[in-house]
Structure 1
Amino acid sequence: MKALVLAGGSGSRLRPITHTSAKQLVPVANKPVLFYGLEAIRDAGIREVGIVVGDTAAEIQDAVGDGSRFGLQVTYLPQDAPRGLAHAVLIAREYLGDDDFVMYLGDNFVVGGIDGIVRRFRQERPDAQIMLTRVSDPRAFGVAELDGDGRVVGLEEKPEHPKSDLALVGVYIFGPRVHDAVARLKPSWRDELEITDAIQGLIDTGGRVESTVISGYWKDTGNVTDMLEVNRLVLEDVEPSVAGAVDASSELIGRVVVEAGATVAGSRIVGPVIVGAGTVVRDSYLGPFTSIGRDCRVIDSEIEYSIVLRGASIDGVGRIEASLIGREAEVTPAPNVPRAHRLVLGDHSKVQIRQ
């Protein structure tokens, strides 16, 4: 069995962060989301991985390399533009051959890994195995309809009137028969080759599609709210560790990680929190569910339930929460001008100002 990892999307919902960084490499708990998926694939016993890449190919390749750090053999598959999940299968046809394969969306996060669903596929040998989860608003997802035995009888992509509340999770397993279904596809109303249409094609031609409804945690980390929630979830399981320097006037409470080369002085940190290597935290408060990347500076500030990326500087800011702060960003107090805000914002930025 091989794996096909999709890492070619533009990440429009995470702009402006993704104007300069691949969305799959935005970190949670100081590790890129993509790495969690690669580790889950390895832990399921899969070694050969094809990664579909687009405009951010160089960055993905620089981060993942040949895959040996994960115990994987990685092949990169260029895609000229995001044209749907099934299009990724189409361009990977030669690489995949007639092998079974897991298709894993590189910006998805599944707690508990995928070894259970892979094992079930190998035992039962359906034409496709999909993962489902119940959602409050199925209209934003691919939606599955099941019969009384739990077998998939219908699929729709972002339906206006969903037939169930079961959304497709971004992990699929296919046998080689799916390639015939993909080859028959026509672009959808979104002008994309939809994987839901390919699976429906399998069903319509007598293929067997099985499902697993997961009760655990799954997130598509395509927006800031979900990134922060996944960061919170991962930090729940960190073990406290202090490899950096913490002075006597500082207080660490709960599960706090201070990586080698980091410095904490005159500060209070309430975990779970990770402070990255080379970062300086001075005269500040870091609250629960906060990840500070490497080589950052947090001076005379307060921050909680946030992700701060490499090289950012936060100086003299009274309170920050529920925020995603990009690489090399600078956050400082505004000039003391009554009723005025001074902003320098990139394209697609979002700012909330309290009046």
Structure 2
Amino acid sequence: MQAVIVAGGKGTRLRPLTYQTPKPMLPIFERPFLCLLVERCRAAGIVDILMNVHYQAGQIQDYFGDGGAFGVRIRYSIEHNPLDTAGAVKLAEPYFTGAPLVVFNADILTDLDLKALLAAHREAGAVATLALTRVLDPTAFGLVQLSEHHRVVAFREKPTAEEAARLGIDTVNAGTYVLEPRIFAAVPKQTPWSFERQLFPDLLAQRQQVLGFVSDAYWLDIGNPAKYWQAHVDILSGRMPYPPQAQQTAPGIWVAAGAAVDPAARLEAPCYIGGRCWVGPEAAIAPGTVLGGASLVNRPLAPGIYPPGTMVP
């Protein structure tokens, strides 16, 4: 079993946060988001990871190296020109072993059960298994239509509200796949190629078995600043089970090692105080506040994400 993490995007929707930092390296409580994906792979027994990189690739390579410090093996496929989703995975083909590939989009926060996803793929004998999630408003997503046996029968791009109501479909692509590597044989090399618009529809046209795995797991696309902040709040609130590496001093209030919080300071849940912070007696930390490390605060803070070294005297 191998994992492929598609981590080459520029993160334009997250600007200005991504002007100097690749999107997958943006921190979730002072640790790069990519750490979460690597840890999820290792927990599922997947230790051979292929990482597609492009924008500011050196930052990712320098941080993770060969993966040994994280208990995995990491190799990189460097995307010099944008190749879209399937084209980016095709680029790693020289490293394929023939084992199924678990493919991740590096901007999705989820606690999807990878072992259950893999088991469903094997049991169905599918060439591709797509993790799907249900959404209340499907108009912002491409819909995936299933048969009664959970086989994918059609992809429907971003319907209007009327079309979505008529179709009665609320399942959307959740950005995690299990794929048999042979399906990439038909993908041209060094050519932009899309999973959603080309490869998956082509498999359906060939009557290949594409399985939809519907999950009620937590799922969030963190591709814009509002969603990036929401990810932190959802973790602090327990909606996404990924506790920060910090002490929970009261329900929903997390304080990292080395932080000093004055007893007179008012902290309201959910909030996070980063490592080596100083929170003074006049500070009031509002719900939904994430305070980066080595910050100094001694007056009220509004909800939001504050970068390391914030000074609010």
TM-score, normalised to structure 2, is 0.87
Q: Is the 8 A contact 1:239 1:256 kept in 2?
A: no
Structure-1 residue corresponding to 2:210: 209
Q: CA deviation at 1:11?
A: 0.6
Structure-2 residue corresponding to 1:352: none
Render the CA deviation track for 1:305-345: whole Å, top value 9, x for unaligned: x2222223334xxxxxxxxxxxxxxxxxxxxxxxxxxxxxx
1 CA distance for matches of 2:209 and 2:142?
18
1 CA distance for matches of 2:106 and 2:128?
19
Q: Is the 8 A contact 1:151 1:210 kept in 2?
A: yes
Structure-2 residue corresponding to 1:263: 260
Structure-1 residue corresponding to 2:278: 280
Structure-2 residue corresponding to 1:325: none
Gaps of 5+ in 2: none
Say if 2:233 is the partner of 1:232.
Answer: yes
Q: Percent identity?
A: 29
Letter in 1 for 2:16: P
Structure-2 residue corresponding to 1:166: 171
Over 3 Å counting, the alpha-carbon distance change for 1:240 and 1:109 in structure 2 is closer
1 CA distance for matches of 2:156 and 2:188?
19
> What do you get for the CA RMSD once the two structures are aligned?
2.5
Higher relative helix content:
2
2 CA distance for matches of 1:241 and 1:172?
32
Over 3 Å counting, the alpha-carbon distance change for 1:168 and 1:150 in structure 2 is same
Say if 2:30 is the partner of 1:25.
Answer: no
Structure-2 residue corresponding to 1:301: 300
Over 3 Å counting, the alpha-carbon distance change for 1:11 and 1:165 in structure 2 is same
Q: CA deviation at 1:241?
A: 5.7
1 CA distance for matches of 2:60 and 2:217?
28
1 CA distance for matches of 2:202 and 2:79?
24
Q: CA deviation at 1:181?
A: 4.1
Render the CA deviation track for 1:71-122: whole Å, top value 9, x for unaligned: 2100111001333101112211111242210110111111244221022223
Which of the pair has more CA radius of gyration?
1
2 CA distance for matches of 1:312 and 1:222?
24
Render the CA deviation track for 1:261-300: whole Å, top value 9, x for unaligned: 2222241112332211111222211133332221122232
2 CA distance for matches of 1:41 and 1:156?
30
Render the CA deviation track for 1:106-160: whole Å, top value 9, x for unaligned: 1111124422102222333310000111224434333212123221012244466
Q: How many residue pairs were aligned?
A: 301
Over 3 Å counting, the alpha-carbon distance change for 1:17 and 1:198 in structure 2 is same
Structure-2 residue corresponding to 1:176: 181
Over 3 Å counting, the alpha-carbon distance change for 1:98 and 1:309 in structure 2 is same
Q: Is the 8 A contact 1:40 1:113 kept in 2?
A: no
Letter in 2 for 1:203: L
Q: Is the 8 A contact 1:30 1:292 kept in 2?
A: no
- Secondary structure of 1:17's counterpart equals coil
Over 3 Å counting, the alpha-carbon distance change for 1:85 and 1:310 in structure 2 is same
Larger mean CA deviation between 284-293 and 225-234 belongs to 284-293
Over 3 Å counting, the alpha-carbon distance change for 1:226 and 1:241 in structure 2 is closer
Render the CA deviation track for 1:169-190: whole Å, top value 9, x for unaligned: 11011012321343399x7xxx
Structure-2 residue corresponding to 1:37: 37
- Secondary structure of 2:181's counterpart equals coil
TM-score, normalised to structure 1, is 0.77
